Amino acid sequence: MVPALGLLKGIAVVGATLFIWYYFSPEYTEVGYQPKQPIDYSHKLHAGDLGIDCRYCHSSVENTAFAGIPSTQVCMNCHSMIGKDNPKLAPLYESWNTGKPIEWVRVHDLPDYAYFNHSLHIHAGVSCKSCHGDVSRMEKVTRKEALSMGWCLDCHRNPAPHLRPRSQVTNMNWEASPEDQRLAQSLVSSGKISPSLQCSACHR
């Protein structure tokens, strides 16, 4: 009777471990994350239909570690003239009048123990689409990738499929030609693109 009880406890521990390992992983808990935002902002309209470049709103993405969340002033560059009567934009005008920043909710928010530099990836030719998905088709931005350590390491081990000319990094409709694919592989092979696999690269 006692050995059978021990076996059942062992199965329960293994089962609980596997359950937590899978269902508490970023692949399960965070892919599909789509928080409610203070303003019903459509990336499909702005980045897709209107063709506004990512860097207009996320202005620090090429030069700093952080892409940056647009300030009220950036929004008001257009909306001081457009959409004044749209009730959905009431929080924007309230922010403008009071000086209180809009409290956007980050969709792609890495833990504090993980270091990520946007500018390094942009300068290497990694597309915004590789990590964020095709936001130009998203009414509401949704997390498409796990952004887990394993996911990042997969790209670091084989970056070529994610590389493109720097001029096309923010172009969601760009498709790689055979020449582009050969160039990307050549850059990796020559060592000009050699992502680190050392722990200290991301955990500082």
10 with 65, same domain: the answer is no
Q: What confidence score (pLDDT) does residue 20 get?
A: 59
Check whether residue 25 and residue 110 sit in a common domain.
no
DSSP tag of 115: -
Structural domain for 8, as ranges: 1-30
Q: Does some domain include residue 95?
A: no
Dist CA 106 CA 134 (whole Å): 17
Do 52 and 13 fall into the same domain? no
Q: Are residues 14 and 51 in the same domain?
A: no
Same domain for 25 and 48:
no
Once rounded to an integer, what is the mean pLDDT over residues 99-122?
95
3-class SS of residue 79: helix
113 in a structural domain: yes
Number of domains making up the chain: 2
30-61 residue pLDDT tens? 899 999 999 999 999 999 999 999 999 999 99
- Cα dist. 170→83, 120, 121 in Å? 26, 14, 12
Are 53 and 136 within one domain?
yes
pLDDT tens for each residue of 153-194: 999 999 999 999 999 999 999 999 999 999 999 999 999 999
Q: How many CB atoms lie within 10 A of CB 132?
A: 21
Beta bridge partners of 126: 163
